[in-house]
Structure 1
Amino acid sequence: MILDFTIGSAVGMTVMFVHLLATLTVYSLVHLISHKIDENRVLFLTLSLITLYLILFLCLCCSVLIWATTYYHLGLTDNFGDAFYSAMLSYTTLGTGDLTQVAKTRLFGPITGASGIIMFGWSAALLVYIIQLHLPVILKKKWEKN
C-alpha cells in the first residue's frame, strides 16, 4: 500500500509538471502576442481560448497517457488500450464502472481521480485567467464607444 501511494504520488507530480509546462506555454504565448494585438481584442480572446483549449486537451491526453503507462507497466491491465481507458475513466472521475482491472491495487484509481480533479481545477483557472485578462478591456472599449 505504501508503494502504491509512493508510485501514485510520483506519477501525480509528473502530471503536475506536464500542466506546469502547459501553463508556462500559455502564459508565454499570451504575453508574447497580447501587446501586439490591441485593436481587435475580441478576435484575440477567441483565438486565445481556442489555443488554450487545444493546449489543455493535449495536456489532458498526455496526463492520461502517463497514468495509462503506469497502469500497464504495473500489470494492472492486460493491454495498453484497457490501461488508457481505465486511466481516462479514473482521471475524469467517472469511475471504473465496467472495468475491474484496477482492482489489483486500491489506491491507483483514487489517486488518479484526485490528480484529475486538481488538474481540471488548474485548467479552469487558466481559462478564467485568459478571460479576466481580456474581457475587461473589451467591455471598457465597448462602453467608451457608447
Structure 2
Amino acid sequence: MLALAVLVLVFAHTVQVWIWAVSILVIAALPDLSTSFYFATVTYTTLGYGDIVLGPEARIVATFCAITGLLTFGISTAFLIGVLTRILPDVFKSDRNV
C-alpha cells in the first residue's frame, strides 16, 4: 500500500512538472520542450541551479512553479504520514505510556 501511495505521488508530481514545462513552452519563454522540462523540474523541486533563467516578463511563471512544487511536496508528506498511520497504527498511537 505504501509503495502504491509513493507511486501515485511520483506520478502526480511528474504530471505537474509536465504541465509547467508545456506552459513555459506555450508562452515562448524557452526555445524547446527539453529545455522547458529541465527548467520546470529544477524550479518545481526548488533546486534552482540558475543555469537557465527566464526573461523578466516570464519570471513570475517560475515563481509560481516553485511555490506549487513547495506546497505540493508538503501535501505529499502529509499524505504519506496519513497512509503510514493507517498501515502502522500501533507505531503512531498518541496514548502510549512512556
Which one has the largest radius of gyration?
A: 1
Identity of aligned residues (%): 29
Taking structure 1 as reference, are residues 92 and 138 closer, same or farther at Cα in structure 2, changes over 3 Å only? Answer: closer
For the 8 Å contact 2:43–2:66, the answer to whether it is kept is yes
- 2:91 matches 1:133: no
Provide Cα deviations, 1:58-103, integer angstroms capped at 9, x if missing partner. 1111000000010001001100000101110110001141112x23
Q: Distance in 2 between matches of 1:114 and 1:52?
A: 23
User: 1:106 deviation in Å?
Assistant: 2.0
Runs of 4+ off more than 2 Å: 137-140
Larger % of helix: which?
1
Across the aligned residues of Structure 1 and Structure 2, the Cα RMSD in angstroms comes to 1.8
Structure 2: runs of 5+ lacking an equivalent = 94-98
Partner of 2:28: 75
1:66 aligned residue (19, 30, 50): 19
Structure 1: runs of 5+ lacking an equivalent = 1-47, 141-146
For the 8 Å contact 2:30–2:36, the answer to whether it is kept is yes
TM-score, normalising length: structure 2: 0.85
TM-score, normalising length: structure 1: 0.59
- 2:62 matches 1:103: no
